[in-house]
Structure 1
């Protein structure tokens, strides 16, 4: 048998790490901090020794998983006013939905579309959902030495941009310079509450495997606040 090249070995390593992280996210969402490396191995369909070769303890595995997810944590806010074609189609469908007729088109194409993108990202990547779920608790389940840097990075990459988008709570884009985005400011707390509510609403559909199908309805409830107020 021809020996594998360095490139092939690296490709296998990267693929195996991704496989382990995907499994770890699912196990952690199910068991929390009581998960063990053995549980991850079973979920990934790998031998215990294989997983242990890459991660000797669950703390390092979870820490690595969260930082990898942090790299794309804010992507759902990219192109805030330019929803993807799939989202555009869904927004078109909403024009026939009596419940949503009062939602301004500009709002649908911004916050509502962004909410759908985030929910769909969570449906595809449970590790990304885990990051937001732990962020809602300020990463308190983790040791302080690991929780503090994660919280700071999440604040810079997600909370601050999202708070700027939310503006003063009127659900319209606003200039960051016009907002108070200091620690514990109203704008920042509003962004934290909205994301925590979204993570909570997504929990059950994610476990049922229906989050992608339910994304539009969840976003409608949490990201079209003025419409809901009119109905009430």
Structure 2
């Protein structure tokens, strides 16, 4: 048997890390900080020793899971007409990498309908509501991303200060601040300013963004529990009167 190349070994390593993080996010949704490495191994369908080889403690695993999710956290703001969908292999992709045509090509009619329906939502609802629907639908297929937003609202208290502080700063800069700008421009587009509303000062913009994210997280937790978040995303947006 021909030995694997360094590139092949690295691909396998990255695939295994992704598999472990996905499993960890699923377990964390149910058990929170009580999560154990053996729980993650069982969820991932891997041996305890395999997971332990990559992560010897749950603190390192949670830290990497959240930073990895942060890399994906801005996609919903950058792709206003796309929503996540599953490829034939189950992989969740967003934006131009897996759009409406690609979904149809794989025979994934549910994914295609979802993307098409979200375009209708963007036209039907305002920019803020449409963006929030996208975010909720992303959470439905990416539990690591949901955990990032959830734990950000808690100040990443599950992590020691040396890890929570830089993660909080990065989330504030890369996610919260752009979302706050979206809220302000969305209000203006909806005519809030013309009806007597005034633009909020930057600190209050961030506070509004934090409050809305907290509301979305709370509503999403119920739908996630019953695996219905994707289909109930629009109802949540209407319930919050976005």
TM-score w.r.t. length of structure 1 = 0.80
CA distance in 2, matches of 1:49, 1:17: 14
Match of 1:112 in 2: 129
SS for the counterpart of 1:71 is helix
Match of 1:153 among 170, 175, 182: 170
CA distance in 2, matches of 1:144, 1:131: 16
Deviation at 1:180? 2.5
Within 5 A, what are the aligned runs for 1:11-90?
Answer: 11-80=11-80, 82=81, 86=114, 89-90=117-118
Deviation at 1:33? 1.3
Q: 1:15 to 1:111 in 2, by over 3 A?
A: same
Deviation at 1:90? 4.5
Match of 2:160 in 1: 143
- Quick check: 2:137–2:230 contact (8 Å CA) kept in 1? yes
Match of 1:9 in 2: 9
Match of 2:88 in 1: none
CA distance in 2, matches of 1:91, 1:108: 10
Please say if 1:165 is aligned against 2:182: yes
- Quick check: 1:27–1:39 contact (8 Å CA) kept in 2? yes
Give deviations 1:24-73, integer Å, cap 9, x for gaps: 11111111112111111111110011001111111000000000000111
Please say if 1:189 is aligned against 2:207: yes
CA distance in 2, matches of 1:52, 1:124: 26
Please say if 1:214 is aligned against 2:232: yes
Give deviations 1:65-95, integer Å, cap 9, x for gaps: 0000001112111144x56664553564x7x
TM-score w.r.t. length of structure 2 = 0.77
Match of 2:138 among 121, 127, 131: 121
Give deviations 1:88-140, integer Å, cap 9, x for gaps: 53564x7xxxxxxxxxx878252122111111110111000000010111112
CA distance in 2, matches of 1:141, 1:171: 37
- The count of aligned residue pairs is 206
- State the Cα RMSD in Å: 2.4
Match of 1:202 in 2: 220
CA distance in 2, matches of 1:172, 1:134: 31
- Quick check: 2:128–2:186 contact (8 Å CA) kept in 1? no
CA distance in 1, matches of 2:188, 2:144: 28
Structure 2, unaligned runs of 5 or more: 84-99, 101-113, 193-198
Structure 1, unaligned runs of 5 or more: 95-104, 226-232
Q: 1:207 to 1:171 in 2, by over 3 A?
A: farther
